[in-house]
Amino acid sequence: MRRADWDLVIANLHNEPLSDGSLIACLHCDLLQRLPDLAPGGSARCTRCDKELWRRREDSLNRTLALSLAAAVLYVIANSVPMLGLSAVGRQAFTTVLGGAEHLWGNGRETVAGLVLLTALVAPALQIGFMLAIVVAARRKRPPRWVGTLLRHHPTTCTWSMIEVMLLGVLVALVKIADYATVIPGVALFVLGVLVFLLAGIQASFDPREVWNRVEWAESARRAGAAEKIAEATS
Amino acid sequence: MNPAGVTAMQLGLQSCEACGLLSRPAPGEEEGRCPRCDETLAFRKPGSLQRTWAYVIAAAICYVPANLLPVLTTTTAAGADSDTILQGVVLLWSPTGWPLSLIVLIASIMIPSAKILALGYLLITVQRGSAQNHEQRIRLYRMVKFIGRWSMVDVFVDTFTAALVQLQPLMSVEPASGLFFFAAVVVLTMLAVESFDPRLIWDSASAREVRHA
């Protein structure tokens, strides 16, 4: 294929960006509006449906990196030490998050065990891991292409990560069991409590728009890839 | 045209749900691809109403066994005893334990049913092209989206109760068949919220504004 043909294929693959980058549409009501230039800490809301369009965070990358690092450490601790113990009639038993899912699995509730595993272990790990990778890579002069891919999927990991819900569930279970046995709150319980606040802190300090403004565009990456192929074919 | 009251769709523009970029699809194309983040784009989520209805109906069906079947079976020397979600709430009710009982009642019984009703209401008003209460309806959508995950609390309560209370032969607790249906209600309603496109709520308002312009 000639170079002009490749350009045509790529042009049809991707939408054409607008020349004015400050024009956006609200994702909740589709109203077209111009995003003002905000001072750090300022926020802009949709004039029709009041959705927050953008909140500019102060020192976003550094703060998010610090919080994500702390969250990663706490996540590892929370899942390697006992979370909840029980002592009755001279016997003691301890369990972790993984232990809870394992027990369900062993009792023929594989689907529910899978869901617990996803929402309490896998999704939080991806949420923290993605965020760490994004902020580390976004600090480079030219952030690599995969930063955009991770950032695109990060909201999904947040939707299914339910550490705070699990913590409430554990507390209710603890009170329930306290009626007929002595419960021993494990170290992991307190670590999880701190982790919930750290995850909220990450949400409050991260500014995805700042990273989106720096990533390499999918369109230009594909154009470069096509140029390479042409060079290969013609050499 | 007055740019203050125009939607992206009316100008033939698509905004990316992942990165927020506004872009123009190739002439005559309904679907496109974001030039910045490679996400597939459409003016509105494709098949949003059908998919949301499917999830809501499936959730409503699962809601019945979720509440009628037991979620936990307690085995003691005196025999086995099974509790449904509602019985669990009653058992938890005591002079000191009532706040937790209330949390379970709200999270496990009231939120899932309210979610199914709220989504049904949003779907019906959108399909009828209702041009009223846009602000209230978008607020309802955001509330359903925000609060939905908390229904999972009962799944975790039962998981960890069962994992911990293993004092054979005195007492042991095992998960029962209702737990699967309850978890299904939570997941299906979350998927329903994700597949619903809130911009549909406002389309009736946009059409009207343009006609008046």
B72-95 tens-digit pLDDT: 988 888 888 888 999 888 888 888
Burial bucket for residue A22 (CB in 10 Å: 0-12, 13-18, 19+): exposed
Residue A13 in contact with residue A20, Cβ under 8 Å? no
Most A CBs within 10 A among B36, B39, B72, B174, hence the mutation to make, goes to B36
The confidence score (pLDDT) of residue B2 equals 43
Asked whether the predicted pLDDT for residue B4 surpasses 60, the reply is: no
Nearest-neighbour CA in chain B from A94: distance (Å): 7
pTM (two decimals): 0.89
The confidence score (pLDDT) of residue A31 equals 92
Q: Which of A29, A173, A219 sits opposite B138 (nearest CB)?
A: A29
The confidence score (pLDDT) of residue B62 equals 97
φ/ψ of A34, rounded to 5, equals -100, 125
Nearest-neighbour CA in chain A from B77: distance (Å): 14
* Separation of first and last alpha carbons in chain A: 14
Residue A124 in contact with residue A163, Cβ under 8 Å? yes
Q: Could you say which residues from 44 to 83 on chain B have a Cβ atom under 8 Å away from some Cβ of chain A?
A: none
Q: For chain B, give the mean pLDDT.
A: 89
- Does the distance separating the beta carbons of B155 and A169 come in below 8 Å? yes
CA–CA gap between residue A203 and residue A132 (Å, rounded): 13
Least CA distance to A217: which residue of chain B?
A: B36
Where chain A has pLDDT below 70, the residues are 1-12, 235
Q: Which residues of A touch B138 (CB under 8 A)?
A: 28-29, 49, 51
Percent of chain B's residues with pLDDT above 70: 95
Sequence-distant (6+) residues with CB within 8 A of A58 are A40, A41
A184 touches chain B (CB under 8 A): no
Q: Which of B97, B103, B180 sits opposite A111 (nearest CB)?
A: B180
The confidence score (pLDDT) of residue B213 equals 42
**Domains of chain B, start order:** 1-43 (no CATH), 45-212 (1.20.140)
**Burial per residue of A118-138, b for 16 or more beta-carbon CB atoms within 10 angstroms, e otherwise:** bbbbebbbbbbbbbbbbbebb
* Separation of first and last alpha carbons in chain B: 8
Give the CA dihedral B103, B107, B110, B111, nearest 10 degrees. 140
Provide the pLDDT confidence category of residue B1 given band limits of 50, 70 and 90: very low
Closest CA to A25 of B135, B3, B212, B35: B3
A112 touches chain B (CB under 8 A): yes
- Does the distance separating the beta carbons of A169 and B153 come in below 8 Å? yes
Give the residue range(s) of CATH 1.20.140 domains in chain A: 59-234
Asked whether the predicted pLDDT for residue B123 surpasses 70, the reply is: yes
Integer angstrom CA distances of residue B25 from A162, B5, B20? 37, 21, 15
Least CA distance to B176: which residue of chain A?
A: A109
A27 touches chain B (CB under 8 A): yes
Q: The complex's ipTM?
A: 0.88
Nearest-neighbour CA in chain A from B23: distance (Å): 4
Q: Which residues of B touch A223 (CB under 8 A)?
A: none
The confidence score (pLDDT) of residue A129 equals 97
Fold of A59-234: Butyryl-CoA Dehydrogenase, subunit A; domain 3 (1.20.140)
Least CA distance to A154: which residue of chain B?
A: B18
Q: Which of B13, B19, B100 sits opposite A25 (nearest CB)?
A: B13
Nearest-neighbour CA in chain B from A7: distance (Å): 14
Q: Which of B138, B167, B190 sits opposite A49 (nearest CB)?
A: B138
Dump pLDDT digits (tens) for B18-34. Answer: 999 999 998 888 888 99
Asked whether the predicted pLDDT for residue B58 surpasses 50, the reply is: yes
Dump pLDDT digits (tens) for B164-177. Answer: 888 777 888 889 99
Asked whether the predicted pLDDT for residue B212 surpasses 60, the reply is: no
Nearest-neighbour CA in chain B from A223: distance (Å): 11
Residue A185 in contact with residue A174, Cβ under 8 Å? yes
Q: Could you say which residues from 187 to 206 on chain A have a Cβ atom under 8 Å away from some Cβ of chain B?
A: none
Least CA distance to A212: which residue of chain B?
A: B19
B104 touches chain A (CB under 8 A): yes
Q: Which residues of A touch B159 (CB under 8 A)?
A: 100-101, 103-104, 112, 116, 169
DSSP assignment letter at B186: H
Phi-psi region of B166 (alpha: psi -120 to 50; beta: other; left: phi over 0): beta
Sequence-distant (6+) residues with CB within 8 A of B201 are A29, B122, B125, B126, B134, B137, B138, B141
Q: Could you say which residues from 194 to 213 on chain B have a Cβ atom under 8 Å away from some Cβ of chain A?
A: 194, 198-199, 201-203, 206
A44 touches chain B (CB under 8 A): no
